[in-house]
Structures are given as structure tokens and as C-alpha cells.
Chain A
Amino acid sequence: QKEVEQNSGPLSVPEGAIASLNCTYSDRGSQSFFWYRQYSGKSPELIMSIYSNGDKEDGRFTAQLNKASQYVSLLIRDSQPSDSATYLCAVKGGSNYKLTFGKGTLLTVNP
């Protein structure tokens, strides 16, 4: 079983819509969860972090965490063409704090 799994994508949404990105993880002891955005040819950029069950909102972004289901998601409201990128889910383990990434979901926002 892969440690961190994401929707394979690509995900295409129209401008102004809500984009929903999902991620599951296998280590029940995981403590920290991050979403990174990576534009083509660029390095990953941290956009959200979440540590407790529930929702965390930051502008147009909302991260949701459900530790019982080992599931974390990212919602992007009012999607813009500039949101078109690969979104990487990253999970930090409970024992050695190693940050493990999913393979990413490519999001395309169509004008």
C-alpha cells in the first residue's frame, strides 16, 4: 500500500468553480499534513498545513482532515486560471517526522 495516495487526475474545473483535491495516508500515527502547489518547472510551495481534525480556512483555500478515516482534502473556492498547477499532499510521520509526498494531482482551471 502506498503511503500517501492522491487522485491521479488530471482534474479540470471551470473558472469560478470549487476544486476538490483528495488524499489518503496509511500511517495512523501521522501528525502533520501539508498541501503544496507546484507550477510546471518550479519547486513546491507550501499553501496549507493542518494538524487537527476538522477544517482550516485560509482565503480561498480550505483544508479538511479526518484522522479516523486517514483522509485529508483541499478545497479551492472560486478557482482561477492561476490556480492551475500540480497539488501535492504531504504527510509527516508520527515516529521519524519524515515528510512523505503523494504523486500529486494536476489541476487545470479553464477560463
Chain B
Amino acid sequence: KAGVTQTPRYLIKTRGQQVTLSCSPISGHRSVSWYQQTPGQGLQFLFEYFSETQRNKGNFPGRFSGRQFSNSRSEMNVSTLELGDSALYLCASSSDRGSAHSPLHFGNGTRLTVT
């Protein structure tokens, strides 16, 4: 089974621009979560989607948004980029949103650098 696929792997953007990151979950997985990872803050939860609905949201400003498509693929968008948005963005999928025991499986991440 193919793992979680994130594109692109690396991005360099300028302050004020916007960016869209893409994630394809493991086949059959319907839940997709997004995390931001920085050296100082660790893994911070952004949001989780299940069956095209946002079920959970972290404490990030409205500049961070996401969506999920009917094939479970997900995108996240960051508008009006700030220098502090430079981070590794990780997407993870799990098999069953309804089960507390379903672990997350991570993609390789997108490294975003804002200059």
C-alpha cells in the first residue's frame, strides 16, 4: 500500500503570498490531519477532516484553512504568509475517524520557507 503523499516537498515563498499544500492519504483512509512542526513549538495541530467535513480545528489564525475532497485527498492553504509560518507541514491519515485507537500515519511533509 502506498503511504501518505505530500506535495510539494519544498516551497520557498515571499511574505504576503499564499500557498497551497496537497496531501493524498493512504488508500482507504478517510481521516486526514494537518500539523505544523517548528523547532520551538513541536508538532502543533492545525485541523482534521473526515468525509469532507472539518471535525477538529487547532488554535491557528484564519489564514490557515483546509479542505477535503470526495476522494479523501486534502489541501491546506495559508494566505498572507508571514515569516513565522516557515515550518514543516505534515499531513497524516488514519483509517477510521470513529475509532480512538486508529493511529496516524504521516507523510514526508512539505518544508515551507517564507522569506
**A85-111: contact bitstring with B at CB < 8 Å (1 yes, 0 no)?**
000101010101111111110000000
CA distance A81 to B45 in the complex (A): 30
With A51-B101, A92-B100 known as contacts, the answer to whether A43 contacts B55 (CB < 8 A) is no
Q: Does A57 sit at the interface, judged by CB under 8 A?
A: no
Residues of A within 8 A of B33 (CB): 99
B: contact size bracket: 20 to 34
Which residue from chain B places its CB closest to the CB of A29 in the assembled complex? Answer: B100
One of A34, A101, A104 near B103 (C-beta < 8 A): A34
Among A31, A45, A98, the one with the most B-chain Cβ atoms within 10 Å of its Cβ is A98
**A34-50: contact bitstring with B at CB < 8 Å (1 yes, 0 no)?**
10100000111110010
Task: Verify B45–A98 contact, CB threshold 8 A.
Answer: yes
Task: Verify A96–B106 contact, CB threshold 8 A.
Answer: no
One of A32, A98, A102 near B56 (C-beta < 8 A): A98
One of B97, B99, B103, B107 near A46 (C-beta < 8 A): B103
Task: Verify B100–A32 contact, CB threshold 8 A.
Answer: yes
Task: Verify A31–B100 contact, CB threshold 8 A.
Answer: yes
Q: Does B48 sit at the interface, judged by CB under 8 A?
A: yes
Residues of A within 8 A of B35 (CB): 101
One of A43, A88, A100, A104 near B107 (C-beta < 8 A): A43
Which residue from chain A places its CB closest to the CB of B99 in the assembled complex? Answer: A97
Task: Verify B97–A103 contact, CB threshold 8 A.
Answer: no
Task: Verify B107–A97 contact, CB threshold 8 A.
Answer: no
CA distance A42 to B107 in the complex (A): 9
Residues of B within 8 A of A99 (CB): 33, 45, 104
Residues of A within 8 A of B55 (CB): 96
Interface, chain A (partner B; CB < 8 A): 31-32, 34, 36, 42-46, 49, 51, 88, 90, 92, 94, 96-104
